[in-house]
Amino acid sequence: MLKKCLVGVLILVLSISMTLSFTPLASAKIKIRYAHWGANPWIEARVKAFNSSQDEVEVVFEPMADYTTKMIIELSAGTAPTVFSTGIWADLGTWMRRGVLKDLTPLIERDKKELDLSDVNPILLKICQVNKRYYAFPWEVCGVYSTWYNELLFKKSGLAIPPDNWTLNDFITYAQKLTKDTNGDGTPDQFGVSGLSDWWNVRTHAIAFKGAFMYNYDGTKFLGDSPKVKEALGIIYDLIHKYKVTPSRAMIQAMAATPGAGIALERGNLGMQIRDACWTYFATIADPKVAQFNVLPPPVDPATGKYSPQDIAMTSLSISGSASKEETEAAWKFIKFFVSEAGTKAAYDAVGWLQRPPIHAKQNKYFLQPKEEKFKGIRLDLFTKLSYLYVCPENFAAVNLAPIQGQVLQPGWDKVFDGKMSVEEFLKTVTPQVNKLIQEGLK
């Protein structure tokens, strides 16, 4: 009898404790995955700060290798992370149009006040939209191009630092004076300009020199017929073949694999390079005996007497189209923190400097005041002051950029670079092909 009672009590105790253990906790933490193309200390700092600032959402950071391939597979199989980085180097234009990204418009509308987009360049927001619906939210301003230069080389060549209103003709003169044979072997090993074998850089220079945009504002047409594009590419052609101020393709290639190799600013054998703000990383790896950097505005177009209009790009965050309502809210909470001052400050505190300006002008102080000693004196303000020039969301709205660049523009330009094709021929061949690819992508 006693035994039976004891057994009964035991069973009761067990079942009560089991029931208690299955009771869901009052506030279950939502775990969401966030993927980015590689390890990144600024992002990791923001993720850490977000996780410790509240208890409802935990973001698990997933640095990925071979980002586009893996993301495409996961997006198609429905196993993609809830939130992930997007941008031009991750085919944003194509993803936006294929329904794999969540429509953020209702969320942005709802939280308009909290977001306070009054100090954000409207073009950054336009880039994230297709047919007036948002599919991404920007957090970093990229593609703001200015002229990085090596002060030491200028001094060595006896050149004065040009004034802010230097012209394209000055640029060419400087480039020529900076191209020389320093080791006496008969061929130049120091160059004035670099990167002109790569179509992406060619495009950058064409816009910086002449405001020669390659696509129209909506990204639906390639402007290969425009006289501006022809003129700008002609100037670049001259830099390569007439003035010969740019290194060969192979010399640039080494740089792609190994920082510090090839013809590069940080190696001290390159005079100038038109690039965006993130190239401050040069300063962290350069030997100050060999290279000291600073920034100049892009050269003034002699035809207009003014700086040319520039294009702009950004890195953004998107939410997976297959995310549940709960996950979407959690991800959106994370995104809001990410771009807020708290987020930017967390990144700044952790690393000591920012790679690029944040989207909110009010937060520019974190970009403009790096703690890193090596950056003191570099005119980072040029990347924020010249923002009035940024008029075109170049490329972002354009779809099918990878095949356009890989199949048509780069192989075509390779021939121009080698002197086997003229700029006119190049434009005549590529324009219809590019437009065809754009049309295919827009369908």
Partner 1 sequence: MNNVYRVSFFESQKRTRIFLMILTYIILILGVCVVLLPFTWTLSTSLKPLQEAFKWPPDFIPSKFMWSNYSQALEKLDMIKCTENTLIVTFSVLIGTLFSNSLAAFGFARLRSPWKDAIFSMVLATMMLPYQVTLIPLYILYRNLHWLDTFKPLTVPAYFGNAFYIFLLRQFFLGIPKEYDEAALIDGCSYPRIYWSIILPMARPALITVGIFSFMGSWNDLMGPLIILSSYEKHTLALRLAVFRQDAFSYALNFTILAAGSIMMTLPLIIIFFFAQKYFIRGVVVSGLKG
Partner 2 sequence: MSQGKSALMKHENRWFFIFILPWIIGFFSFQIGPMVYSLIMSLCNWEIISSPKFIGLENYKTFFTDPLIKQCFKVTFLFALMTIPTGIVLGILLALLMNQPVKGITIFRTLYYLPAVTSAVSAAILWIFVFDPQYGILNYLLKRYFSIQGPPWLGSETWALPALAIMSLWGIGGSMIIYLAALQSIPTQLYEAAEIDGANSIQKFFSITLPMLTPAIFFNLVMGIIGTLQTFTQAFVTTNGGPANATLFYALYLYNNAFRYYKMGYASALAWMLLIIIFVITRIVFRTSNWVYYEAESR
Binding site for partner 2 (CB under 8 A): 68-69, 72-73, 75-76, 94-95, 98-100, 189, 248-254, 256-258, 261-262, 400, 402-403, 406-407, 410-411, 414-415, 418
State the nearest-atom distance from the C-beta of 299 to partner 2, in Å. 28
Fill in the DSSP letter of residue 261.
-
Residue 410 interface partner, choices partner 1, partner 2, none, CB cut-off 5-8 Å depending on type = partner 2
d(CA 45, CA 334): 13
Q: Tokens representing 365?
A: 């102080």
- Regarding 136 and contact with partner 1 (CB under 8 A), the answer is no
**From the list partner 1, partner 2, none, partner contacted by residue 285 (C-beta under 5 to 8 A by kind):** partner 1
Q: How far is the CB of 75 from partner 2 (least distance, A)?
A: 5
Burial of 314 (0-12, 13-18, 19+ CB in 10 A): buried
Rounded least distance, CB 77 to partner 1, Å: 5
Q: Choosing among partner 2, partner 1, none, which partner's interface includes residue 433 (Cβ < 5 to 8 Å by kind)?
A: none
Say if CB 130 and CB 353 are below 8 A apart.
Answer: no
Specify the pairing of strand 313-319 against strand 137-142: antiparallel
Q: Counting contacts by CB under 8 A, is residue 105 touching partner 1?
A: no
Nearer to partner 1, 12 or 256 (CB): 256
Which residues are CB-contacts of 134 (< 8 A; sequence separation ≥ 6)? 103, 104, 105, 108, 125, 128
Residues from 60 through 89 that contact partner 1 (CB under 8 A) = 60-67, 69-70, 73, 76-79, 81
Q: Does 17 bind partner 1 (CB under 8 A)?
A: no
Nearer to partner 1, 61 or 217 (CB): 61
Q: How far, in Å, CA of 425 to CA of 7, rounded?
A: 93
The region of 36-44, 45-53, 153-161, 364-372 touching partner 1 under the rule CB under 8 A is 36-44
Site string (282-301) toward partner 1, x via CB under 8 A: --xxxx--------------
Partner whose footprint covers residue 287, from partner 1, partner 2, none (CB < 5 to 8 Å by kind): partner 1
* Cβ nearer to partner 1, comparing 224 with 370: 370
Q: Which one of residues 17, 99, 281, 439 is an interface residue with partner 1 (CB under 8 A)?
A: 281
Closest by CA position to 271, among listed 190, 351, 360, 330: 190
| 12-18 LR contacts (CB < 8 Å, sep 24+) | none
62 binds, among partner 2, partner 1, none (CB under 5 to 8 A by kind): partner 1
Question: What is the Cα–Cα distance from 426 to 428, expressed in whole angstroms?
Answer: 5
Distances (CA, A) of 194 to 179, 230, 270, 321: 11, 20, 7, 41
Q: Which residues bind partner 1 (CB under 8 A)?
A: 33, 37-41, 60-67, 69-70, 73, 76-79, 81, 259-262, 266-267, 278, 281, 284-287, 355
